[in-house]
Structure 1
Amino acid sequence: MLGAPAGGADAADAAGLPGFKPVPPASMGPALNADGYHVGRIEGNLYWVTDAYYQAMFLSTRHGVVLVDASPAIGTNLLRAIEDVTRASGRPGKVTHLVHSHAHADHIGASVLFGDDVVRIGHRANRELLLRADDPNRPAPKVTFDSRYTLSAGGEQLELAHHGPNHTPDNIYVHAPAYRTLMLVDVVFPGWVPFKNLAISQDIPAWIKAHDVALSYPGTTLVGGHLGRLGSGPTPSCRRSPTAPPARHRWRGTDTRA
């Protein structure tokens, strides 16, 4: 999936199989370190970490770290990535808040790493789904909201919003307005086509509508939750006008078609 050997298309044709092209280098994202992760600054005190397949985002504050998602695929490398950043900046490295983008285990299944003291935050439906799942690796959030929630910690701020169901009933938009960044998981995959079956999204019309909602946010960076690169954009010229046809939405490096 992440690449093809030289001459792969010719070999496939010779075997009577469909041809394919290698994954473009621009879709691959930055190289991983020896421990198998990359951590980088988005802007200011906002960072992201990836294992080239999953992504998390965290905000370094004067009082600790606000983490968005905890994928078990990244696992304890989340702790290493946060330590890398906070050790260099001299800020506290303890994760004080953990935001759940949605209930799926592949994105929050390492929540248990952060113990009982962390403040877990999610949509009201997120709590309901996790209480039903009764998974010890995914404790249900104690702080919930219905439509909007402002998370303020250590002089930093995230705006959480629920604009209705899309990928899941509880999937939320996490906006860092000071750093012009939106995190929306399992909807847009920068540099890639959508996953098979639209990433098993549960409400397809609402999943398509979520692209327009994402484009309505002012910003320059998108954290999509998957794969090894960020999205950049949308630019003002890419925003949809009320009369534009709903055929294509663009973030730079991204082309998603309804």
Structure 2
Amino acid sequence: MNRTPHHMLTRRGFCLCCIAATTFGVSGGWLTPREAYAQAKNIVDMIRDHAATDPVKVTRLRQTVSVLEGSGGNIAVLTGSDGKVMIDAGITASKPRVLEALASLGKEPITRLINTHWHFDHTDGNEWLHGEGAAILAHANTRKHLQSAQRVEAWDFNFPAAPSGAIPNEVFSADRTLQVNGSTLELKCYTPAHTDSDIAVRFTEADVLHTGDTFWNGIYPFIDYSTGGSIGGMIAAAEANVAMAGRETIVIPGHGPIGDRAGLLAYRDMLVATHANVSSLKAKAMSLEQVIAAGPTAAFDDKWGKFVIDPAFFTRLVYEGA
């Protein structure tokens, strides 16, 4: 297996990089999602537009687990006699390339889809995958959010309720285990972290962990306070991910290249240190602008802060929950 080095982030690995490249040339610096919206079109439509043409890369990881990169969040696929099981659905505009990628993994039908959380870049493909025959399983809060209109304030975007075919038909709100294709899938429910609907999926025998958006490899993460996310929850989720991963575990992040336990540790340490720095400054009654100017992320910016969620925007997210 050829893994992408941790310090590299490809266009396939995180579709928002396309937006970053576009807006950098206009502004002379990285833009927050809100700024990108103001200068061009809204960030959701920009992501969908790129998904309509971006390639989808297939990487076989271990045993019968593979990953598809390039359609929104990273998609894991488990193949076998019970049919293809997908972790996350990507973006509908990528459907032709996702179907081509899935066909390269075998002739089995798509029988099950598991959503790691409700965000559109992980659930936009739910409807067409359900049409292909996939039963959809997710956290109860994922179904709740998809069934009604949602606003993500930091993106300045209102999502309508999802169509009926995109709604998970089976939900859970506590850890559970599935047996499928001769494999054990451990579904871990987080306390509110990136959202209030996050889960991880661990392929036990293959020792592969899909963290959803509780881990962004090499990128400052987005925290969706509009639907229950928090910096404290992100740190708790990072600790849980470290605890689930061993030395040989392959880690599929929500965004970014394939990682490992060392990457989870580095990410956890970055979150903890940034939270401590921002909390200390905020305790001094410093305004958001003053905290940003103090550079609480400076030690991490070269590695984590060179894409769409830049140091200032990430500091804003941490400040909100500090």
Name the residue aligned to 2:125. 110
Name the residue aligned to 1:189. 216
Unpaired stretches in structure 1, ≥5 consecutive residues: 5-10, 20-33, 87-91, 249-253
Structure 1 range deviating more: 75-84 or 95-104: 75-84
Matches within 5 A, 1:1-258: 1=17, 36-51=55-70, 54-72=73-91, 74-86=94-106, 92-116=107-131, 117-133=133-149, 134-136=161-163, 139-195=166-222, 198=223, 202-204=228-230, 205-219=232-246, 220-227=249-256, 229-234=257-262, 246-247=272-273
Distance 2:259 2:162 in 1: 32
CA contact (8 A) 1:61 1:156 kept: no
Distance 2:114 2:205 in 1: 18
Shift of 1:215: 0.7
The amino acid of 1:234's aligned partner reads: A
Pair 1:137–1:71, CA change in 2 (3 A): farther
Shift of 1:143: 1.5
Deviations 1:190-240 (A, max 9, x none): 133335xx466742221222111111103422211224x111223899899
Aligned length: 222
SS in 2 for 1:216: helix
SS in 2 for 1:98: strand
Distance 1:246 1:184 in 2: 18
Shift of 1:163: 2.3
Distance 1:36 1:126 in 2: 27
The amino acid of 2:119's aligned partner reads: H
The amino acid of 2:62's aligned partner reads: E
Per the normalisation by structure 2, the TM-score is 0.58
Instruction: Give the structure with the higher percent helix.
Output: 2
SS in 2 for 1:191: coil
Distance 1:180 1:239 in 2: 20
CA contact (8 A) 1:111 1:137 kept: no
Distance 2:163 2:264 in 1: 44
Distance 1:146 1:236 in 2: 24
Deviations 1:46-101 (A, max 9, x none): 00001186311110012210001111153332211110011xxxxx4211110011
Distance 2:111 2:201 in 1: 17
Pair 1:137–1:109, CA change in 2 (3 A): farther
Unpaired stretches in structure 2, ≥5 consecutive residues: 1-16, 31-52, 150-160, 275-302, 306-313
SS in 1 for 2:205: helix
Distance 1:150 1:239 in 2: 27
- Across the aligned residues of Structure 1 and Structure 2, the Cα RMSD in angstroms comes to 3.6
The amino acid of 1:36's aligned partner reads: P
Distance 1:209 1:63 in 2: 34
Structure 1 range deviating more: 130-139 or 113-122: 130-139
Structure 1 range deviating more: 45-54 or 75-84: 45-54
Distance 2:213 2:245 in 1: 20
The amino acid of 1:65's aligned partner reads: K
Pair 1:62–1:145, CA change in 2 (3 A): same
